[in-house]
Structures are given as structure tokens and as C-alpha cells.
Amino acid sequence: MGLVNKDISNGIGIITLNNPRKLNALSTSLINDLCVCLEEMIEENARVVIIRAPAGSKVFSAGHDVAELPTNGRDPLTYNDPLRLAVRTIEHFPAPVIAMVEGSVWGGACELVMSCDMILASEDSHFAITPAKLGVPYNISGVQNFMITGGVPLCKEMLFTAQPFPVNRLVEAGVVNHAVPVEQLEDLVMQIANQIVKNSPLVISLLKEELRLLSAAHNLSPETFERIQGLRRQVYDSRDYQEGIRAFFEKRPPEFKGS
């Protein structure tokens, strides 16, 4: 596979994001390769899947590929956006998906990692949720995922500051299951994966889907949905949205005007 590597043995699948030139940015092509890998893992009866970057990575993923964010008045994070597709594919995958994190995780890659069933990270990893820095109106299900996973106080601090947070802050909040010295990370992940593989795949698949449905059981009236979408449109139609993306590629701090 082009931008991801795939390996499976003894029911344990390992998917390695492998586009270091683009810092594993979640481009359409990388996400497509990831989703194809996950589909193949179902066919090959993987009992657990580990998503990782190559050992020693300084950046796990730089998040959404900014070059693919539309600047022509289109919603940048619609239902069919590659990031949304990847999140749903992981959430619906019929077995546990473990994010094994080394390095820094940026923007939408934080949501991708948080959509996994467990996060095990090296103790020097960092997580930055950056829509406010780029001027991007994050979408409803993404904000809901952050809220459910991290809790509102931590999410507000991460979303409003758009700064990298050390992994221990996410361990304290219960977002990250374990943070260990990097040399212990792979052994711990494999230990947990081997524990999972010994148990009933049918029961685990049922439990995963039960937990997904129960945690996402939030009523959103059509009027509330439309109000949020209207607010989001005001942002992605704004000059600030264009400025955020332009500033990123010009490698300068954005000058947001609030319009």
C-alpha cells in the first residue's frame, strides 16, 4: 500500500502511517489507503488493529492536509471529507483499534486518534487541536467526539488555545489510557493486543458497538442542527478562514480580524 504499511499475524493487525515527507498529513490519498487497509483487516479476521507511525517518528500526524482545505466557500469538513470517513471507519470497525502514538499529533489527527478505542502513547508525546489557529470551523460530530472523549473543560482549553498539550494532561483526563517511556511502548501495546485476542471477538464487537451507540445517543433537533451549520457557514465564508490557511502556507502568524 502506498502511504500506509500493513501487517497482520496471530489476529493482530498493524497499520503504519508512512508518508514522512508530508508528516503523515491526513490527505485524501493517505486516508483512502488507511480505509482500504482497515477493510482488508476485516476480511483477514483481525481481532485487534494497531494504528501507528514508524518508530522514532517526531510527528505522528500533522493532521488534515491543509492544502486540501477548500477556499471557495465550501464547507471544509463535510460528511464525506476524508477525515470524517476515517473517523467513522474506525468507530464502526468490528474489533478494537488501538492508537500507538509517538511524537506529536495535530488537528484532525487528534480526533482520528481519539476515535480509536484506546490510546497508548510515549510519555514525550503531545496533542494539539488547532482549528482555532487555522480559522477552521470544526464540524458538529468532530466537536461532539472531542467532548465525549475529553470532557468539556479540557476540550475548551485545547480548542481555544490550539497549543500542544503534553500527554500527561490527556492521561489525567482519561483520554489516553497509558503514557510510558518510548522503549516500553510497543511491548505494552502488544501485551494489551494479545489479551484482547484471547477473548470472544463476537462479545468484544458487540460491546464496542453498544458503547458507540450509547455514547453518541444525543438528540439534536433539526433546528439546532441547522443553527450550528449556519454558524459554521459564517466561519468558512469568512475572511478569517482564508487568512488562517494563507498564513499557514506563508509560514507567518495569522492576523484574524473576526470577520
- Which positions are annotated as active-site residues? 64, 108, 138
Q: Is 11 in the site for ligand YXS (CB under 6 A)?
A: no
Q: Which residue has the cell 480548542?
A: 159
Shortest Å, Cβ 133 to ligand YXS: 6
Torsion, CA 240, CA 243, CA 247, CA 249, rounded to 10:
120
Q: Is 82 in the site for ligand YXS (CB under 6 A)?
A: no
Among 18, 57, 125, 130, binds ligand YXS (CB under 6 A): 130
**Closest among 64, 175, 158, 156 to 117, alpha carbons compared:** 175
CA distances in angstroms from 42 to 20, 39, 61, 90, listed in the order given: 26, 5, 24, 11
Shortest Å, Cβ 233 to ligand YXS: 15
Helix, strand, coil shares, percent, the chain, to 5: 50, 15, 35
Q: Is 52 in the site for ligand YXS (CB under 6 A)?
A: no
Residue 214: CB partners within 8 Å, gap ≥ 6? none
Shortest Å, Cβ 65 to ligand YXS: 4
Q: Is 232 in the site for ligand YXS (CB under 6 A)?
A: no
Q: Is 65 in the site for ligand YXS (CB under 6 A)?
A: yes
For residues 29 and 35, what is the distance between their CA atoms, to the nearest angstrom? Answer: 10
Binders of ligand YXS among residues 138 to 157 (CB under 6 A) are 138
Question: Which of the stretches 59-67, 85-93, 113-121, 168-176 binds ligand YXS when contact is defined by CB under 6 A?
Answer: 59-67
Q: Is 63 in the site for ligand YXS (CB under 6 A)?
A: yes
Count of residues in contact with ligand YXS, rule CB under 6 A: 17
Q: Are 26 and 69 in contact (CB under 8 A)?
A: no
Binders of ligand YXS among residues 100 to 129 (CB under 6 A) are 106-108
For residues 232 and 93, what is the distance between their CA atoms, to the nearest angstrom? Answer: 29
When the beta carbons of 11 and 63 are compared against ligand YXS, the nearer one is: 63
Q: Are 50 and 44 in contact (CB under 8 A)?
A: no
Cross-strand pairs, 152: none
For residues 167 and 62, what is the distance between their CA atoms, to the nearest angstrom? Answer: 16
Among 6, 47, 52, 64, binds ligand YXS (CB under 6 A): 64
Residues in contact with ligand YXS by the rule CB under 6 A: 23, 25, 59, 62-67, 106-108, 130-131, 134, 136, 138
